[in-house]
Structure 1
Amino acid sequence: MKNVIKIIVSDIKRLSTNVVAMVVIIGLTVIPSLYAWFNILSNWDPYGESATTNLQVAVASSDEGIMIGSVELNVGDIIISNLKENTTIGWVFTDTAQDAVNGVYSGDYYAALVIDEEFSSNMISFLSGDIENPIITYYENEKKNAIAPKITAKVKTTIEREVDHAFVSTVAESLLKGGEYFATLDEEGNITGAGINKLEQLDSDLNGMITILDSYIALMDSTESISEAGEAITDSADTITELAGTMAEESQGKAAGVKDDVEQSKKNVDRKVENLNEKLSAVDSDVNTLNEKVAGLSLDVNVDYEQMQQSVEKIQEMWGTDQDGIYQLLLNVDAPDTEEGALAKDAITEYANVLNELISGLDEDVTDIQSATTKGEEDFNTAKEALVNNVAGILACTKNIRGQYSSLSSVGQEAIDAGSKAVEEVEKLINYNATSIDLVADNLDNYAVIMEQSKDSLVKSRDEAVEMESQLAALIAEIKAIGQNEAYQKVMELLQSDPDLLSDFISSPVDISDEYIYPVENNGSMTAPFYIVLSIWVGALIMSTILKTTVKDTTGMDNLKNWQCFLGRYFTTFVIGQIQTIITVLGAFLFVGIQCEHPFYFWMACAWTSLIYSLLLYSFTYSFGNVGEALSVVLMVIQVAGAGGTFPIEVLPKVFQVLYKFMPFNYSMNALRECIAGFYENTYRNCMLILIIYGVIAVFIGVTLYHPFKILNEKIESSKEKSGILI
């Protein structure tokens, strides 16, 4: 062990006294960290909206639209309008489809979307039965960048989904709104109820028709009697005409009188409202005067309490409880026989009773103030406050009464207006023209001609009507049976629900709820394990290439063993590797700002990884020389390609899926991922333990295989020197 320590001390002295060596060592500690930091930053958030908006995708619509009735529909313009509000991609809206396609060929745009000329007409082609799928052509420049097409390809799926959603939503909404119309056709609640009513009315009309036809057939045998009856009816019609004329004249006169009565009632209501408002205003005026006097009350001021008492008596006299007093007028207020009228009258009565109590107690309040002037300031202020509160209550009640009475007057006015309108309608109804009866009489005169029709035709018509009525009755029974069907009831419930809500559900029935397990804030933090592990390997590779592994100066070292040389010279590599690691980790936290749930364990995993990688690559170079350096590069290339740092291992070729389990990158990255996003059971511990295997392999290679490969390494070195070119 003494020899190991002597080698370490010797290396430290040589490095500390050589300026060039120190500069190289400083570079070795910084360069790998820069590699990790800048790669993480370049991958920080390439799929975020702030980044993807810089990817230009051209959009052009050649849709000519279509006329549906008098309405023009252009789905292409609707898509363009919606995309202008979408900020996930850098949309470029060109004037023509050719401009968009040419931009993709030239590399100005990563992709282009061109809406077909017949897009709108094909969208609704299902209505004609000749279905044509609407087409949006997607052009993509895959030469410009390897990843960009994968990002812009999502645009194609997004637009297809939005168009499908809009189409299904519109169709579903239209159908459901139509169903809603049938489901709420009339007061019966659905089309079945309305249809049964119409059919039953038709059935009744057919029965009436059959009865009339039976009468005609019976009357055919007594044409003469019918003719005489027609003459009698004509005479009666003349009498009815004269009577109708007289009735119309009398009704018009009475209608005018009723209108006058309605107008007079309106005027009476207006006078009552005006009279009550005047009396309430007079009360308010006297109460306000009293309020001003009360406000000026003070022990230091002489007050004429007799005059104040007279003001109170005046208010009480106007309020009065006799027949002409305001109180009685309010209690006996006329209210329309409606719910609104009853509520308003109850409110007026309640306010009137409260106001009656307040006004009745005014004289007592004045007496209390007068007697309190001899008791002290506190009693005086208490009595004054009681009078002030009562006065405020009176003013509030009168204000509320006015509001309620105004409401009552409004309700009454509506009732009067309705009555006046009803009178006008009655006047229209009774003001008919007697010529209508004359027309009936003329038709009766022609009944004799009708009776001359063929009796056989009447019998045939009557039989057809009976058959029709029988079939109609059966149809009504079947429809009523449908209305009781449970499935039909469910359809009606569906049609009576919200069409907009159902159309949204049909067009998009599944709502995805995102639940992130071990969430990571950004893509940079996700890729950090790969680039940090790779930088540690690169740092170890550079050290194994630059630093010498053989110990040539053995002065003062007795019985030097190979394993002592191996461990003694490795110490320098170990220290530099740990400095590289701490700089890289601190920069990732403080400069780059990656997410990390467990920073301390993150550093431990990186430090442990640096120990294992530097030991492994050092042993390659120590035992195999230049062949070991080449082997280190090959292992790095294989792990960069197949360790699952950028793509899931499952999508890589089979050979990488097999080698993946043997790659140290795998376990180092998984340990760092545990620290970044959160621990799961013993994953972190297991990864750290597995890395020990590579450390054991490294020691075995360095200690055991050095001598077997020593002769080969010497020959390789000799050949390199003879070349005059290789170092």
Structure 2
Amino acid sequence: MIAARLALSELRRLAAGTLPRLALLALVVIPSLYAGLYLFANEDPYGRLHDVPAALVVEDRGATATDAVDGRTRDVRYGDQVAERLTGGEGGFGWVRTSQRDAEAGVRSGRYDAALVIGPSFSADLVSVADYRPRQASLTLLTNDANNYLSTTIADTVVGDVRDAIATQVGTQAADEFLQGFGSIHTELGAAVRGASELVDGAQRLASGSTELVEGTGRLASGAAQAADGAAALAAGTRALPSSAGRLADGAGRLSQGLGTLRDRTSTLPDDTRALATGAQQVAAGAGEVAGVADEVAAGVQQLDAAATTAREVLDVRLAALVDAGRLTQQEADEVAALAADALGGVDALDEAVARAAGRLDELGSGAAQVATGAQQLADAAPALSDGIATAAAGGRQLASGTAQLRGAAGTLADDLDRLAQGTAEVSTGAQQLAAGSGTLAQGASELDGGLTELRDRLSAGLGAVPDLDRATEEATARTIADPVTIAKDELARAGSYGAGLAPFFLSLAAWIGGYVLFLLVRPLSSRALATGAHTWQTAVGGWLPGVLIGVAQVTLMYLLVTYALDIVPVHGAATLGLLVLASAAFVAILQALNVWFGAVGEFLGLVLMLVQLVTAGGTFPWQTIPEPLLSLHRVLPMSYTVEGLRQTLYGGDLGTAASYAGILAAVLLAALAATAWAARRRRTWTPTRLQPELVL
């Protein structure tokens, strides 16, 4: 009760008279003026940046960009796009397009706070990546801290945002063309896979046909070798035919001469008929030999003809198969068939010639036998022979003529058989080469099949690895590649404006100022209470309560002004007002203790303590950025906890954290009151210094 009476008495003293009342009103209003003016001035400075003049210089000459997918070109002027973005309201400042000389002069003189210069090669540098000669495009920012340091900082941020936006745009276009190129690659690779599959099918057919070719050419080479051997044997057998035919011709000539002599000398017929019978028998024996050789030759030629016919049939079948399989053209097959026909055609002619010669030799043998029989009959019946001599002479002439023809045919037959042997040998060699070549072809076809199969499989695997995106996915992917990170804000507590962000600091500072000015009028302790010997706690609280009551009026008015006039509405209004009241009470207690302990010096220390807390409370920048030893002071001075607590209540933070800060302020309050009570105990004793202080304010 003593403390309440002391407080009421002090309030009556302060309200006694018009000027004291006005002074008391001023004490109540001062914190609201301080906090209100500061918060009003800093309510939304970023929203008024358009009033800050800045120069914009666009020297970009533009460039031609080539589409990497379809090769189409387009003209781009990224410098103009940047200018439109800045002057269209996204640039923050009030941008004015001008020349570089004017921009530099304006920044130097302060007419412009900053200037942005877009160089002549800006667009060309941005599209240089498409030519694989990449160059970074640059923006030149002219600033002058002598104009305003924060303008430079804000200009850096604005230009950085513009740079990010242009980089995202260009990166999106480049990524889009890149992904479209993947689509083209996928399409072309799909066509390549289909072509490779067709090649694999053709290679498999080639391998199968080449295997059949190897088998056919092997049989052809074997048949050709047999034909060559037969032709060689036939040629060797017919080499004795010309000499035998010569002997036969000689014998036929002599026979003709003998028949002539016989015709002329029929008078000696009995003797001559015996000689004739002997000669006829010799002729019959020679004709038999010749006929036997001719039969052997005819048999050999028939075998050769059969082998040649077989070889021709086999060759025709294989050539037709090769043409059907596409391994040989019809013209090449016809040339091979013509070559074989030329080589084997002589066999047919030889067969006919030998058959005719054999027939004639058979006739000759038959005739010789008849001559021998006739000669014997003539010898037995010489008188009846003279009539047949003329016929025999005529037959002798025919025999001589036929044997002469046989001699010529035998020579021709021998020559033909030699050529046949040579031709069949060449055919055999060619067939062997063809067989060897077909084997190489078969091996190559097998390797080709394996290589093409591997190519098809690898192309198929590559096709699966190349993305095939639809247009919407391409565009979304391109945007993500160009701007892969987005910031999703999860605001646990939000100030809402720059002014609201500074409110905890200015409200705390205003509460301290309000407590500081109180003791310009309010007495920290009642001298009468000290003189009457009242309890020191009651005296301390009695001196503290008037300041607290005025402080409540100060922070209440300040709270109403900030909430309703400046529209900074606290999320937790009651907690905010309660914390302001507690902070004001704690600040009043601290300032009371300083005044009680140090008098006029205590008032000066209160001002110094306000200045120290101004830089240590962390009201603007995070308190962790404060250097030592100020950082240590941040942890022990009360305004730090007032600022942190008001942030929780104003923005909707953690009330538990705010309560802990309130607990620290309450502890500071009690400690300050205890210090005042201790000082009140000491002040019961009057000293010369108290009676006549060295410094009076």
TM range, smaller chain? 0.5 to 0.7
Instruction: Find the counterpart in structure 1 of residue 193 from structure 2.
Output: 193
1:573 aligns with 2:547: yes
Residue 50 of structure 2 corresponds to which residue in structure 1? 53
> Which runs of 5 or more residues in structure 1 are unaligned?
227-454, 722-726
Q: Deviations over 1:143-196 (max 9, x none)?
A: 2223333322211221221222122212211122122233335xxx93433543
Q: Paired residue for 1:520?
A: 495
Size of the aligned set, in residue pairs, is 486
Q: Check 1:589–1:77 CA distance in 2 against 1; reply closer, same or farther (3 A cut).
A: closer
Higher alpha-carbon Rg: 2
Per-residue CA distance 1:343-388 (angstroms, 9 max, x = gap): xxxxxxxxxxxxxxxxxxxxxxxxxxxxxxxxxxxxxxxxxxxxxx
Q: Residue in 1 aligned with 2:81?
A: 78
**Structure 1 residues 107 and 565: alpha-carbon distance in aligned structure 2, compared to 1, 3 A threshold:** same
Task: Deviation per CA, 1:212-236: give whole Å up to 9, x if none.
Answer: 855444444678999xxxxxxxxxx
3-state SS of paired residue (2:170): helix
Structure 1 counterpart of 2:476, one-letter code: L
* 1:92 aligned counterpart, secondary structure: strand
Tell me the amino acid that sits aligned with residue 651 of structure 1: T
Letter paired with 1:20: L
The amino acid across from 1:51 in the alignment is R
User: In structure 2, do the counterparts of structure 1 residues 139 and 519 end up closer, same or farther at CA, with 3 Å as the change threshold?
Assistant: same
Distance 1:161 1:209, change over 3 A: farther
Equivalent residue letter for 2:114:
A
2:90 counterpart SS class: coil
The question of 1:640 aligning with 2:639 is answered no
2:479 to 504, 526, 530: 504
Secondary structure of the 2:51 match is coil
Q: Distance in 2 between matches of 1:479 and 1:713?
A: 111
CA distance, structure 1, for counterparts of residue 170 and residue 563 of structure 2: 49
**Partner residue of 1:612 out of 564, 586, 602:** 586
Q: Quote how far apart the aligned CAs of 1:478 are.
A: 2.4
2:481 paired with 1:482: no
Q: What's the TM-score, normalizing by structure 1?
A: 0.59
Letter in 2 for 1:479: L
**Distance across 1 between alignment mates of 2:118 and 2:555:** 54
- Report what 1:66 is aligned to: 63
Structure 1 residue 71: deviation in Å?
4.0
What is the alpha-carbon distance in structure 1 between the residues aligned to residue 691 and residue 457 of structure 2? 102
Question: What does the per-residue CA deviation read over 1:289-325, in whole Å, with 9 as the maximum and x for residues that have no partner?
Answer: xxxxxxxxxxxxxxxxxxxxxxxxxxxxxxxxxxxxx
Q: Flag the 1:216–1:574 CA change in 2: closer, same or farther, 3 A.
A: same
8 Å contact kept, 2:540–2:680? no
Alpha-carbon RMSD: 4.0
Q: Give 3-state SS (helix, strand or coil) of 1:545's partner.
A: coil
Shift of 1:538: 0.1
- Taking a change above 3 Å as real, the CA distance of residues 549 and 505 of structure 1, as seen in their structure-2 partners, is closer
| 1:492-543 superposed Cα distances (whole Å, 9 cap, x missing partner) | 4458873222211211233332221123322322322211111110011111
The CA deviation at 1:33 is: 0.9
State the one-letter code of the partner of 1:190. Answer: G
Asked if residue 583 in structure 1 is aligned to residue 557 in structure 2, the reply is: yes
Shift of 1:141: 2.4
Q: Does residue 602 in structure 1 map to residue 576 in structure 2?
A: yes
Q: In the aligned structure 1, how far is the partner of 2:106 from the partner of 2:182?
A: 48
Q: In structure 2, the residue corresponding to 1:64 is in which secondary structure?
A: coil
Q: In 2, Cα distance between the equivalents of 1:112 and 1:201?
A: 70
* Comparing 156-165 and 558-567, the one that deviates more: 558-567
Whether 1:99 aligns to 2:98 is no
Aligned pairs for 1:28-43 (under 5 A) are 28-43=27-42
Match of 1:146 in 2: 149
1:481 counterpart letter in structure 2: D
Amino acid at match of 1:136: L
Task: Work out the CA distance in 2 between the residues paired with 1:470 and 1:121.
Answer: 54
Distance 2:538 2:695 in 1: 28
> Residues 57 and 89 of structure 1 are in contact (CA less than 8 Å); yes or no, is this contact kept in structure 2?
no
Is 1:628 equivalent to 2:602 in the alignment? yes
Q: Tell me the alpha carbon deviations over residues 230-274 of structure 1, each in whole angstroms, 9 at most, x when there is no partner.
A: xxxxxxxxxxxxxxxxxxxxxxxxxxxxxxxxxxxxxxxxxxxxx
**CA separation of 1:192/1:716 partners in 2, compared to 1, >3 Å: closer, same or farther?**
farther
**Alignment correspondent of 2:627:** 653
Match status 1:109 vs 2:108: no
**Separation (CA, whole Å) in 2 of partners of 1:145 and 1:662:** 34
Query: Structure 1 residue 203: deviation in Å?
Result: 7.1
Q: Residue 63 of structure 2 contacts residue 124 of structure 2 at CA under 8 Å; is this kept in 1?
A: yes
SS at match of 2:466: helix
| 1:137 corresponds to which of 140, 152, 164 | 140
Deviation at 1:712?
A: 8.5
1:160 lines up with 2:163 in the alignment: yes
Query: What is the Cα deviation at residue 84 of structure 1?
Result: 4.1
- Give the match for residue 667 of structure 1: 641
Structure 1 pair 67–599 and aligned structure 2 pair: CA distance change class (3 A): closer
Aligned-partner residue type, residue 512 of structure 1 = I
Task: Letter of the 1:522 partner, please give it.
Answer: S
SS in 2 for 1:143: coil
Partner deviation per Cα, 1:588-635 (whole Å, 9 max, x = no partner): 222222121221222211111111111210121122111111111111
Q: Secondary structure at the match of 2:552?
A: helix
TM-score of the aligned structures, taking structure 2 as reference length: 0.61
Cα distance 1:25–1:81, how it changes in 2: closer, same or farther (>3 A)? closer
The answer on whether the counterparts of 2:56 and 2:95 sit within 8 Å (CA) in structure 1 is: yes
> Amino acid of the residue matched to residue 504 of structure 1?
R
One-letter code aligned to 1:61:
V
Aligned to 2:505: 530
C-alpha distance in structure 2 between counterparts of 1:627 and 1:142, whole Å: 40
**Contact 1:182/1:191 (8 A) holds in 2:** no
Q: Distance in 2 between matches of 1:479 and 1:717?
A: 110
In structure 2, what is the equivalent of residue 169 of structure 1?
172
Counterpart of 2:455, as a letter, is I
> Contact 2:58–2:118 (CA<8 Å) still a contact in 1?
yes
Kept in 2: contact 1:642–1:649 (CA 8 A): yes
Given that 2:193 and 2:460 are in contact with CA atoms closer than 8 Å, whether structure 1 keeps it comes out as no
| Partner secondary structure for residue 43 of structure 2 | coil
Whole-Å separation in 1 of the counterparts to 2:691 and 2:452: 108
2:673 aligned with 1:699, yes or no? yes
Unpaired stretches in structure 2, ≥5 consecutive residues: 67-72, 210-322, 342-429
Identify if the C-alpha distance between structure 1 residues 681 and 32 changes in structure 2 by more than 3 Å, giving closer, same or farther: closer
Partner Cα distance (2:524, 2:136) in 1: 72
Question: Contact 2:525–2:542 (CA<8 Å) still a contact in 1?
Answer: no
Query: 1:583 is matched by which residue type in structure 2?
Result: L
Distance in structure 2 (CA, Å) of the matches to 1:6 and 1:516? 50
CA contact (8 A) 2:50 2:92 kept: yes
1:549-564 to structure 2, matched below 5 A, reads 549=524, 551=526, 558-560=532-534, 563-564=537-538
| 1:331-410 pair list within 5 angstroms | none
Distance (Å, rounded) in 2 between the aligned partners of 1:674 and 1:190? 63
Distance 1:51 1:713, change over 3 A: farther
2: CA distance between counterparts of 1:12 and 1:471? 114
2:517 partner letter = I
C-alpha spacing 1:606/1:221, structure 2 compared with 1 (3 Å)? closer
